[in-house]
């Protein structure tokens, strides 16, 4: 599998070339959020705001009202926790085209609880006028900007940085409110988002070998959440539905699917794989994914629970089909 180095860093620079009203606002995490080169390429439209996210949100609002498109770059956690009132009243209420590019979502951050955005999707979904998207791979990252820019209103993006696997063909760009169907099947439907899609792909290839037929969709838009493909996939699942996300099971993909299933009268089981309503700590992504049961093996265990069968799949089986050997070799991520 191809591993793409810093896809956002490169793509955002070239994409911005013919868009003079696209500006970047940064809160002291410029290089950490892959806009260091951007800031040197377009110094006249790069603005430093220091460690002051509340004020940055208000400045973004004023600039957006005058025809600029502010792309705020900082860690996901600092875009919604500290400045939420400003986000809601200065940006979201007037439906301004401010783009909130949040890095290190969920337990991707090794920085511990203070740095881990685990309830951001819940809060942003509950914010009127907000569009919420979650990047799953390098193709998502490289092709999301046109779709984001076309949104009439604020957009919150869970962005990926550094070495990002390419899971989806480059010829199939990110499309807002449109899931990617990764496999068809009738036994189970798996809806995964963000970095969990890679884990789910690893598990589903082994599960298929054991005779389980799986409908697997990668969901990259959490709001709006009206993709008919998702409803169809839920309808088709004979033994149940599993959601898998790098986020709390409260308010994220799992909740959105539960709401959809309840409202559509889908009388079937739902298993929500995600962070089980608890804070995490500082550790490697690999450890935190295992500990929070967000990895491929956890999905296999979930399938066993839902189907009531023992499949005898081990970590070694999953490692054998590992699609991104690169992750285990990457150096520990710094802030």
Q: Residues in the site for another protein, rule: CB under 8 A?
A: 45, 47-50, 52, 54-68, 85-86, 89-90, 93-95, 128-129, 152-153
**Is 78 or 168 the residue whose CB approaches another protein more closely?**
78
Contact criterion met (CB below 8 Å) for 214 and 204: yes
Smallest separation (angstroms) from another protein to the CB of 109: 24
Smallest separation (angstroms) from another protein to the CB of 54: 4
Beta strands, E only, the chain = 3-5, 22-26, 46-48, 69-75, 99-103, 131-134, 155-159, 163-165, 180-183, 188-192, 214-218, 221-223, 241-248, 270-275
Smallest separation (angstroms) from another protein to the CB of 27: 10
What is the strand order of the sheet 180-183 is part of? Answer: 180-183, 214-218, 188-192, 241-248, 270-275
Smallest separation (angstroms) from another protein to the CB of 58: 2
Count CA atoms within 13 Å of residue 98 on its CB side: 30
**Is 91 or 122 the residue whose CB approaches another protein more closely?**
91
**Is 55 or 330 the residue whose CB approaches another protein more closely?**
55
**Is 63 or 117 the residue whose CB approaches another protein more closely?**
63
Smallest separation (angstroms) from another protein to the CB of 87: 11
Burial class (CB in 10 A: 0-12, 13-18, 19+), 5: exposed
**Is 93 or 322 the residue whose CB approaches another protein more closely?**
93
């Amino acid at each position: 599998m191809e591993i793409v180095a810093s896809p956002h860093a490169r793509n955002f620079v070239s994409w911005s070339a013919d868009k003079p009203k696209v500006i970047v606002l940064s809160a002291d995490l410029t290089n950490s959020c892959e806009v260091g080169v951007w800031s040197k390429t377009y110094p006249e439209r790069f603005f430093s705001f220091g460690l002051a996210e509340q004020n940055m949100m208000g400045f973004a609002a004023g600039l957006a009202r005058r025809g600029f498109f502010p792309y705020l770059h900082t860690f996901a956690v600092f875009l919604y926790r500290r400045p939420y009132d400003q986000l809601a009243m200065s940006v979201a209420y007037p439906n301004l085209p401010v783009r909130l590019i949040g890095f290190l979502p969920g337990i991707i951050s090794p920085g511990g609880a203070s740095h881990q955005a685990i309830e951001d999707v819940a809060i942003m979904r509950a914010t009127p006028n907000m569009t919420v998207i979650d990047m799953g791979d390098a193709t998502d990252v490289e092709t999301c900007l046109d779709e984001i820019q076309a949104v009439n209103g604020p957009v919150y993006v869970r962005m990926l940085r550094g070495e990002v696997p390419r899971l989806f063909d480059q010829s199939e760009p990110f499309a807002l409110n449109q899931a990617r169907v990764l496999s068809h099947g009738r036994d189970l439907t798996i809806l995964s988002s963000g970095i969990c899609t890679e884990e789910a792909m690893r598990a589903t290839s082994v599960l298929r070998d054991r005779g389980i037929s799986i409908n697997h969709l990668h969901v990259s838009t959490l709001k709006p959440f009206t993709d008919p493909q998702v409803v169809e996939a839920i309808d088709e699942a004979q033994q149940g539905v599993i959601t898998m996300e790098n986020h709390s099971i409260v308010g994220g993909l799992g909740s959105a699917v539960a709401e959809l299933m309840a409202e559509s009268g889908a009388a079937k089981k739902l298993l929500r794989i995600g962070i089980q309503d608890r804070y995490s700590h500082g550790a490697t992504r690999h450890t935190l994914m295992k500990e929070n049961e967000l990895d491929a093996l956890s999905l296999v265990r979930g399938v066993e629970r839902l189907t009531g069968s023992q499949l005898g799949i081990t970590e070694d089986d999953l490692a054998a089909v590992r699609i991104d050997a690169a992750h285990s070799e990457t150096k520990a991520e710094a802030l």
